[in-house]
């Protein structure tokens, strides 16, 4: 029953009582002759209505005060629940609402504290962007990487991180169309004074459907310094070893020119010395080659090269090795050539290293094939063999320096363990990628693939040619 209805009924009851009192106390007199009793009854009704309305107003004021306190964040505020009436239900509902909000706020506060502790405990810098591309939050590690005097919140990233590539990556992630999987971009930036960072920028979906972004900065400075020290050490050592090895080779070759009068055992020793000196010289040359490739600048606009001519040059250099094992090197490249954007000499070296690797690990009397596939502005080349193949667990590591799948074959094959690493560096510095799979087209060994960009407007032919 509502408060207004109850007040109305109370007034009605008092009024009825006021009309009935004269009849009860003055039964022998008409109502018109009892005005005093009527006035008294109406006065009593007014007093009763006043107290009832005052009580209701007090309950309403208390309800308003508690609701305002909850709105200000005092979620522990509660109403005293009166017994009976509709105010009991209202007070209980407000108290239950306050308890629910208090529990949710505590949960959110605890989660926020945990998240802040995690972010501030990370050694990686973290930047959070809103849907408009402005900085919303950063962690302590970010403040250490990019120290400032505050005021970075609400600013675009480039005003805090002076790198146009990073700003472009953030813009690209924020401008990405709405998809189930948030967009991700990874880039490496240099901020001067030998400070290098690997940055991952990933899209962040908000509850309202808006797209923000999170950027995580991984410090690569120590790694870069160690890598530079390693490269310098390798380059210095190879240069220092080059001269004495040349002398050893020269002396061994001179002694082997006239072996008359030498015991067969000494001749065999000289042959072993020359063989190992040649192997070490090849390794040193490969290490110097790899160092030159790593130190050379990335070509901004690679020249146009004919992949067919590069392959033919590589095949000629591998012919003697292939003839020893009676291995045929077959070309399925079109006779009119395949145009790619690459340095011709380095492209020939990629073909030479891949073909040489296939010949080394292929059985006698087998064959190696080279083919290509063009599309989407790139050309994919494939070198296949009938060797033992590369196990799945070794396919990522096979391009590392000095890594060999079959360790026991390294001495017998004469491999330096650097050929595939050199090929990988050349391809990646030209903006391509290289990988290995199981051989196709009925072949049983490994299939090495690498991609290079095709000149714009070119459509390389796909028809095979005899090699």
CA distance 387 to 389: 6
- Percent of the chain having pLDDT more than 90? 20
Give residue 34's pLDDT. 52
Structural domain ending residue among the three candidates 108, 138, 172:
108
3-class secondary structure, 327: coil
The answer to whether residue 177 is domain-embedded is: yes
Give the length of the chain: 467
Q: How confident is the model at residue 466 (pLDDT cuts 50, 70, 90)?
A: very low
Q: What is the pLDDT of residues 369-404, one digit of tens each?
A: 999 999 888 999 999 998 888 888 888 888 888 777
Q: How confident is the model at residue 451 (pLDDT cuts 50, 70, 90)?
A: very high
Q: Over 80: is that where the pLDDT of 67 sits?
A: no
Average pLDDT on 99-127 reads 81
The answer to whether residue 466 is domain-embedded is: no
The answer to whether residue 465 is domain-embedded is: no
CA distance 213 to 215: 7
Which range (76-85, 273-282, 387-396) has the least confidence? 76-85
Same-domain status, 214 and 229: no
Same-domain status, 195 and 313: no
The answer to whether residue 459 is domain-embedded is: no
Cβ atoms of 245 and 287 within 8 Å: the answer is no
DSSP character at residue 394: G
Same-domain status, 16 and 84: yes
β-pairing verdict for 378-384 and 446-453: antiparallel
The answer to whether residue 319 is domain-embedded is: yes
Structural domains in the chain (count): 4
The answer to whether residue 351 is domain-embedded is: yes
Same-domain status, 251 and 379: no
Q: What is the largest CA-CA distance in the chain?
A: 169
Average pLDDT on 290-313 reads 84
The answer to whether residue 115 is domain-embedded is: no
Q: What is the pLDDT of residues 214-224, one digit of tens each?
A: 999 988 888 88
Q: Over 80: is that where the pLDDT of 450 sits?
A: yes
Domain housing 244: 223-294
- Percent of the chain having pLDDT more than 70? 76
Question: For residue 137, what are its two tokens?
Answer: 């939050």
97 vs 448, higher pLDDT: 448
DSSP character at residue 326: T
Q: Over 80: is that where the pLDDT of 429 sits?
A: yes
Q: How confident is the model at residue 462 (pLDDT cuts 50, 70, 90)?
A: very low
Identify which of 414, 417, 393 has the alpha carbon closest to the alpha carbon of residue 404.
Answer: 417
Structural domain ending residue among the three candidates 108, 134, 168:
108
261 vs 254, higher pLDDT: 254
Cβ atoms of 196 and 168 within 8 Å: the answer is no
Same-domain status, 443 and 310: yes
CA distance 314 to 311: 5
Alpha helices in 204-257 (DSSP H): 221-257
Which range (68-82, 210-224, 246-260, 336-350) has the least confidence? 68-82
CATH number, domain of 418, equals 3.30.565.10
Same-domain status, 88 and 176: no
Q: What is the mean pLDDT of the chain?
A: 79
Identify which of 461, 466, 467 has the alpha carbon closest to the alpha carbon of residue 373.
Answer: 461
């Amino acid at each position: 029953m509502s408060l207004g209805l109850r007040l109305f009924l109370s007034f009605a009851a008092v009024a009825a009582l006021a009309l009935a009192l004269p009849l009860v106390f003055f039964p022998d007199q008409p109502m018109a002759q009892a005005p005093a009793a009527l006035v008294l009854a109406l006065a009593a009704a007014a007093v009763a209505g006043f107290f009832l309305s005052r009580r209701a107003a007090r309950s309403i004021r208390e309800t308003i005060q508690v609701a305002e306190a909850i709105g200000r964040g005092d979620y522990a505020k509660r109403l005293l629940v009166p017994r009976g009436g509709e105010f009991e239900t209202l007070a209980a509902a407000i108290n239950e609402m306050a308890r629910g909000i208090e529990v949710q706020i505590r949960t959110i506060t605890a989660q926020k504290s945990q998240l802040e502790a995690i972010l501030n405990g990370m050694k990686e810098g973290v930047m959070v962007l809103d849907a408009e591309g402005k900085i919303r939050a950063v962690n302590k590690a970010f403040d250490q990487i990019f120290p400032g005097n505050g005021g970075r919140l609400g600013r675009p990233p480039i005003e805090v991180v002076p790198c146009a590539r990073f700003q472009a990556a953030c813009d690209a992630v924020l401008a990405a169309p709405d998809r189930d999987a948030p967009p991700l971009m990874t880039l490496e930036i240099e901020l001067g004074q030998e400070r290098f960072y690997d940055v991952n920028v990933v899209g962040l979906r908000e509850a309202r459907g808006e797209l923000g972004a999170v950027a995580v900065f991984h410090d690569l400075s120590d790694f870069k310094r160690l890598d530079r020290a390693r490269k310098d050490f390798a380059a210095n050592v190879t240069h220092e070893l080059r001269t004495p090895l040349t002398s050893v080779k020269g002396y061994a070759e001179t002694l082997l020119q006239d072996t008359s009068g030498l015991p067969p055992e000494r001749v065999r020793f000289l042959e072993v010395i020359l063989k190992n000196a040649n192997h070490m010289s090849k390794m040193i040359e490969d290490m110097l080659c790899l160092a030159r490739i790593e130190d050379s600048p990335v070509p901004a606009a690679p020249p146009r090269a004919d992949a067919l001519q590069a392959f033919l040059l590589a095949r000629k250099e591998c012919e003697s090795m292939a003839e020893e094992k009676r291995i045929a090197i077959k070309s399925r490249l079109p006779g009119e050539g395949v145009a790619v954007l690459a340095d011709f000499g380095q492209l020939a070296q990629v073909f030479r290293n891949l073909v040489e690797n296939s010949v080394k690990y292929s059985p006698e009397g087998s064959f190696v094939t080279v083919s290509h596939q063009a599309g989407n502005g790139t050309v994919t080349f494939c070198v296949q063999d009938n060797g033992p193949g590369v196990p799945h667990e070794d396919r990522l590591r096979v391009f590392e320096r000095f890594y060999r799948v079959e360790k026991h074959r390294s001495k017998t094959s004469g491999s330096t363990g650097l050929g595939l690493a050199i090929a990988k560096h050349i391809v990646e510095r030209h903006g391509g990628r290289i990988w290995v799979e199981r051989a196709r087209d009925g072949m049983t060994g490994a299939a090495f693939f690498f991609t290079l960009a095709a000149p714009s407007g070119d459509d390389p032919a796909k028809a095979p040619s005899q090699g």
